[in-house]
Structure 1
Amino acid sequence: MSTADSTAAPAPAAVAGADSILTGALVHTLDPAAPGPSRVQAVAVKDGTIVAVGDPAQVAADWRGAATTVHDLQGATLTPGLTDGHLHPVMGASSFTGLDLSACRNIADLRSALAGAVRDTTRGEWITGYGLDHNAFEGAAVSNALIDDVLDGIPALLLLYDAHSALAGSAALRAAGIDGPRSFASRSEIVCDPSGTPTGHLLEDGAIGLVRRVMPVADLGERRARVLELLQSMAAVGLTGGHVMDCEGDSLELIAGIEDLPLRLRIAPWAMPGDIDAQVEHLLALRGTGGPRWSVDAVKFFVDGTVEGGTAWLERADCHGQGTDSFWHDPADYTRAVRRLDAGGMQTATHAIGDAGVRHALDTLAGAARTVRHRIEHIETLPYEQIRRFAELDVAASMQPTHTAYTRADHSDQWSLRLGPERAGRAWCCRDLRDTGATLVLGSDWPIAHFDPRQVLATAQLRRLPGTDSEPVLPAQGLTALMALEGMTSHAAHATGQGHIAGRIARGHRADLTAFAVDPLTAPPDELADAPIRLTMVDGAVTHRS
C-alpha cells in the first residue's frame, strides 16, 4: 500500500517554512482517504504535526524555508511511527535485572549459570535473574531443591519468562519470612510441598511481591537512567510509542523526570483485587494526568495468569488439574470495576490468556455501556465463536506474535502439554481475529520478549522467530505484511481512540515516523527483522538517525 495525500494550497504558516521536510523515500501513508499510489513522496512537518504529503517538488515549493531541515532518506521506506501495543519499560528496567537465563535449556544450564553468579557475588548481596523458560525444568516441578546447594546460602530470586511466576532460593524465603502458605486478595500462591514447606515456586504478584519487598532497590535516579537508556534503544529500532501496561509506586515520578522522552508513552496503571472501589476512584482521578509525550489514559486489569504457571482461567482444567479459577476470588468484582471505569470514560485493558478468562472479559464488556473502546491483552487460546465477538463488540485485541517462540509446532512444550492438542491448536489466532474484522494491536510485552518491532512484524508473518529454522506454529494464522504493519500503526492508534491524529501519514496527524532501509511490505520477513532503521521521529524531532 503506497499512497499520496494531495497537497492543498500552503497554509499561512508556510510563509515561515516547515521545520523539516522528509524526501527521497517511498511513503506508506496507511491513509484510506489518500488517492492513488505514488512511488516517491515528501512529507513536511511543522510544530510536531504533518502539514503536507505529496510530490517532492510541490512540497518543497510550498514549505521549504530558510530554517527548514531537509532529511534525504535516500530510498528508504517511510511509515507511520511504530507503536509497541504492550510493554513494561519501568517494571522491566527495575525487575528484569541480573542474570539473563533465557538461554538455559535444562537444569544443568541453570545450575551452571547460578554457579558463575555465586563466584561473582559478595556476601550480603542478592542474585537476581530473569527470562527462565518453564521448559528448562524438563518436566520436573519448579523447586529450589534443584538450586539451593549451588546458591550456597546467597538469597536469589529468579523470574520465569512469563513474570507471573518465580523461583526463590531458601535464603530468599527466609529473608522474606515465608515459611508456609498464605492467603492473598488475588489468586496468588506460595507453592508448598505436602508437608506445608514452601518449594520456592511463587505464583503471581502477591506471592512474588513478598520477596521483592525485602530486596535492595536502586534509587530513583539510577532507575530513571535505566529507563531512559532503554527507551533510547527502542527508538533506535524504530519505535515511536508504547502502551505501558504498569504504573506502580513512583513510576509516574520517574517518567515525569525524563526530559524529551524518546517515545510517546500511554500509561495504564493496574487495578488489582482488594479494595477495588477505592482504586477505581483513584484511577478515575488519574485520567488525563501527563506531561510532554506521556499520559495516563487507561487501566490494566488481570482476569487470569499464565498457562505454564497453571493460573490461566480455562473452561476446563489443564493436564495438571489446574486453571479453572479466575485471578479474582469473585469475578463479579472485576466486572463491576470495569463497568464503573467504562461509565467514567476510562479505557480498560484486561490481561486474559485462557479461554474462560477471555470469555468473561467479553461478557463483562458486552454488558457495559462501552463509552470508550476497550481492549483485551494476550488471548493465547480461544475458540472461534469467541473470536467473532471482538469485532461484534468493537473490543480491540492486543497480541504479541513473538510469544509463539515459547511454544513448539509439535506441541512438546509446557504451554501445549498443559492445554492439550485441541486448545494448543488454537494458539494466538491473529489471522482469525483480523479476518473477522477485529482491531488487532501488536506488541512485544517487553521484557517478556524482545522489544524490537522488526521481530514482531516478521514473526507475525512467519509464526516463528526470524533467522531460525524452527517449524512455524500454526502458519495459517500468519498475518500479511500490511496487517502486521497496521498492528503497530493504524490499528494501535484506533485501539486508543486516536486514529484521527495518529497511526497514519496525513495532514494534521502527529509527526511520529519510522524510516526503514527496506520496504516492510515487500521485504522477506527474515530480511526485515534485521534491516537498518534509517530514521525515527517523534513530534517532528529526530530520536534516532543511522
Structure 2
Amino acid sequence: MTERTPMTAIADMVILNGRVRTMDDSQEVAEAVAVSGNRILAVGSNAEISSLAGPSTRHIDARGGTVMPGFNEAHMHIFGGSVALGELSLFGVKGFDALSQAVTAYAAANPHLPLLVGQSTDYTILSEEERVTRHHLDRIISDRPLLLVAPDRHTGWANTIALHMAGILEGRDVGVGNEIVMGEDGLANGELRETNAMRPVASMSVTGGREGLGVGTGGEPEAVTAAERARDIAILKNGLSYCASLGITSFQNMDGNLYQLEMLEEIDKTDGLPVRVRMPFHMKNFMPLSDLTDKAVAWRARFDSDKLRCNFVKLFMDGVTEGETAAFVDDYAHKPGWKGEPLFSAEHFGQVAVEANRLGLPIAVHAIGDGAVRLVLDGYQASIDANGPRDNRNRIEHIEVVHPDDIARFATTGTVASMQPTHPPGSAGLPLEPYLTFIGRGRWPYAFAWKTLVDAGAKIVFATDWPVSPLPPLHCIRDAMTRRLWDDDMPDHRLSLDQTLAAYTKTSAWVEFMEDRKGMLKPGYYADIVVLTGDIATVASEEIANLKVALTICDGRITHKTQSA
C-alpha cells in the first residue's frame, strides 16, 4: 500500500473491489481507494483500505469497474454547450426531408422562441454537392427566424427573415476572416462564416447570444437584467451537472470573458462548483497589448482557487477548413489561389506571445490549418528568444493539419498539442466530405496526426471541444482507440489506452500546472475520482463508449451517482 497520512486517519469514504488505474507510475494498479475530506488518503488492496474504515465511513462497491482519476476535458465551451442542451440537435440528420421534419417539429414544440436554433448541422446535410442556402430554409419555415449552426460552430445558415431582422440581408463588412456569403442576386445567400457574421442573427436568441461572447468576441454583454442573469446561471448549472454525470471533474473552458467567470464564481459560493474550471482571458486581434496587464493579470489574481482559475490567454489564429477560413501553407486543394487568411500577423502574434509569457501567462491558440500552426510556433519561438527558456506550457488547439517541417518544433518549443479525437472526418458520425477534398490527399497523412506528434516528443491532451462534438469522454476515448484510416497507405494515429487515458487525466493536469495535486490517484492528491461500470482495460475498444459512469467524486464530494452505485 502507498503511504498515507496520518497513520491513525479514518477514511470518510472507501471505494472497494475496483480495477484502480491510478495513472501514477509508482503504483499503477490497485483494488481500492480511501478518501478523507477532499483528499486521497490511501490506495491499495481491499484489505488495506478496509482497515481505514470506521463506523461512519461510507462504503462504495466498484463491482470490478475501473476506478481512475476524474476526466479532465482540456478544451470545451461550457456556456454554449449548456445552452445547446436545450436546442435542436441535428446530429446525424441527413437530407432535406429529414431536416424539414426536425425543424418543423421543433418549431411547433417551441412557439415562443424568438429564434429557432439547430445545432450540429453537417456541411453536407443536404448532400455532398449542395450547400444550404436561405432558400432551402425558407421552404421549411419562412415566418420565423431560423439559424442552423455547423458542428464546428464556425459556420451558420439563416433563413431570409432572420437575415432581414438582423440587418444583414444586403451584406455587411464583418472584418478579416469573417464573411456574409452573397448570392448572385446581390443579397446574402444565407451562409454566415465565422462569429462576426453569425452574431447579428445569434443575438436574437432567447439568451441574446451571450453564450457566444466569450469565444467569439472576447467581450461582455452590454446589459443583462437580473432575470436574464438568473436564467443564464440556471443554464450553466444544468451544464455543470451534465459534465459531472459524464465523469468529468475538471474542464478547461475556452470561453474567456468576465461575465462567465462571475457567474461561475457565484455558483461556487452558493451551491459549490461540481467541476473544477480553468478559464482564459480571450485576446482578440483588435485588443491593445496593455489588456494583458490590465485585464488578464488582474483576472488571474481575482480568480485563483483550485475550483475556479483564470490564468492563461486564448487566441484564434484562423477559422475552419470546411468554411474555407482555415489558413494553410499551400493553397486549398479545391480552390487554387486561396490559402486562407490568418487573424493575426506574425509580428502581432509574436508581440502577444512575448508579453503574455513574460507576465507568466500560458497561451492557447486555435490553429486549424498548417499555415496557422506554423505562425503560432513562430510566435512561441519568438517568446523563447525574447524571454529565455521558460516552462510556459503553451498550447496549440486542434492542429487539424501540421506541415511535416513543423512536427519536430512542438518538442523543441515545448508546445502542447491539444487535440480532439472526435474531430477527424469519419469519426463521431462526421462525414468525410468536403474536408478530404478541401485539404487534398497530399495533406492526409499530416491531418489529425496526434501519434506522429507524440512520437516526435510532443505532450498531448485530449478533449471534445463540446458542443462542437458530443461531450462524453468515454465516447471520445473510444473514437481515439478506433480511428479508421482514410486509405490503406495512411499512417495509424491511434495511441495506446494508457497514452489516451493520460491525455484525459494526468497530462491535462500537468498543462494546468496542477500535476502536484490532481490527475492521479495518489495520497495527498485531490479526491477527484470516476468509477465506471466495467473494466476499461478489458473491454473491446469499440465497446468503451458502452461503459457507464457509476460515480463521480470531485473535491471529495459525490457529484453524480447511479442508483446502483
Q: Same fold (TM over 0.5)?
A: yes
Query: What secondary structure does 2:309 align onto?
Result: strand
Q: Could you report, residue by residue, the CA deviation over 1:299-318 in whole angstroms, capped at 9, with x for unpaired residues?
A: 21110110000000111221
CA deviations on 1:81-131 (whole Å, 9 max, x unpaired) are 111111111122236753212232233432333333444454883221111
Distance 2:306 2:24 in 1: 26
After TM superposition, give the deviation of residue 474 of structure 1 in Å: 5.2
In the TM superposition, 1:270-289 aligns within 5 A as: 270-281=282-293, 282-289=295-302
Residue range with higher mean Cα deviation, 413-422 or 133-142? 133-142
CA distance in 2, matches of 1:380, 1:116: 35
How far apart are the structure 1 equivalents of 2:414 and 2:400? 19
Match of 2:245 in 1: 236
Residues 148-197 of structure 1: per-residue CA shift (max 9 Å, x gap): 23222311111111101111111111111114343345421111124542
Partner residue in 2 for 1:147: 137
Among candidates 389, 401, 416, match of residue 421 of structure 2: 401
Give the secondary-structure state (helix, strand or coil) at the position aligned to 1:79: strand
CA contact (8 A) 2:114 2:205 kept: no
Query: Any residues of structure 2 matched to 1:152-167 within 5 Å, and which?
Result: 152-167=142-157
State the match for 1:326 in structure 2.
Answer: 341
RMSD of equivalent CA atoms: 2.7
Q: Does 1:294 align with 2:308?
A: yes
Q: 1:103 aligns with which of 74, 84, 92?
A: 92
Moved more, 500-509 or 177-186: 177-186
> Quick check: 1:364 aligned with 2:379?
yes
Q: Secondary structure at the match of 1:287?
A: helix
What's the counterpart of residue 367 of structure 2? 352
CA distance in 1, matches of 2:186, 2:290: 35
- Unaligned 5+ runs, structure 2: 209-227, 385-389
Q: Structure 2: which amino acid aligns with 1:527?
A: E
Q: Report the counterpart of residue 461 of structure 2 in structure 1.
A: 441
Instruction: Give the Cα separation in 2 of the matches to 1:144 and 1:192.
Output: 11
Q: Is the contact between residue 425 and residue 435 of structure 2 (CA under 8 Å) also seen in structure 1?
A: no
Asked if 1 retains the 8 angstrom alpha-carbon contact of 2:327 and 2:339, the reply is yes
Classify 1:410/1:137 alpha carbon distance in 2 versus 1 (closer, same or farther; 3 Å).
closer
The amino acid that maps onto 2:105 is G
Q: 2:504 corresponds to which residue? A: 488
Moved over 6 A (4+): 407-411, 470-473
Q: Please say if 1:310 is aligned against 2:324.
A: yes
What SS does the aligned partner of 1:235 have?
helix
- Please tell me the residue identity of whatever aligns with 1:424: W
1:3 matched to which residue of 2? none
Once the two structures are TM-superposed, the CA of residue 375 in structure 1 deviates from its matched residue by: 0.8
**Is 2:9 aligned against 1:11?**
no
SS at match of 2:119: strand
Between 1:181-190 and 1:490-499, the stretch displaced more is: 181-190
Q: 1:47 to 1:288 in 2, by over 3 A?
A: farther
The DSSP-based 3-state class of the residue aligned with 1:33 is: coil
Out of 161, 171, 182, the position equivalent to 1:192 is 182
Supply the distance in 1 between the matched residues of 2:113 and 2:121 (Cα, whole angstroms). 24
Contact 1:42–1:56 under 8 Å retained in 2: yes
The match for 2:255 among 246, 262, 265 is: 246
The 3 A distance-change label for structure 1 pair 323 and 183 is same
Tell me, in whole angstroms, the C-alpha distance in 1 between the residues paired with 2:325 and 2:370.
12
Contact 1:85 1:243 in 2 (8 A): yes
**Structure-1-length-normalised TM-score:** 0.90
Matched, 1:340 2:333: no
Matching residue of 1:450:
470
CA distance in 1, matches of 2:166, 2:395: 36
Q: Is the 8 A contact 1:462 1:475 kept in 2?
A: no
1:257 aligns with 2:271: no
User: d(CA) in 1 for partners of 2:36 and 2:428?
Assistant: 48
Q: CA deviation at 1:331?
A: 4.0
> How far does residue 464 in structure 1 lie from its aligned partner after superposition?
5.3
Cα distance, 1:392 vs. partner?
Answer: 2.1
Write the deviation string for residues 199-221 of structure 1: whole angstroms up to 9, x where unpaired.
12111111111222343327222
Q: By how many angstroms is 1:355 displaced? A: 0.6
Measured after TM superposition, the shift of residue 322 of structure 1 is 7.1
CA distance in 2, matches of 1:195, 1:317: 29
Q: Residues 194 and 449 (structure 1 numbering): CA distance in 2 closer, same or farther, change over 3 Å?
A: same
Match of 1:175 in 2: 165
Describe the SS at the equivalent of 2:139: helix
C-alpha distance in 1, partners of 2:157/2:301?
A: 38
List gaps (5 residues or longer) in structure 1.
1-5
The answer (yes or no) to whether the contact 2:350–2:383 under 8 Å persists in 1 is no
The answer as to whether partners of 2:65 and 2:531 remain within 8 angstroms in 1 is yes
Give, in angstroms, the shift of residue 431 of structure 1.
Answer: 1.4
Name whichever of 311-320 and 247-256 sits farther off: 247-256
Alignment of 1:31 onto 2:21: no
Alignment deviations for residues 446-469 of structure 1 (CA, whole Å, 9 cap, x no partner): 11111111111111010159xxxx
Paired amino acid for 1:157: L
What are the Cα deviations for residues 485-524 of structure 1, in whole angstroms up to 9, with x where unaligned? 1110111112222222121111221111112222223321
SS in 1 for 2:424: helix
Change (3 A) 1:74 1:114: closer
Name the SS for the 2:17 alignment partner.
strand
Q: What is aligned with 2:215?
A: none
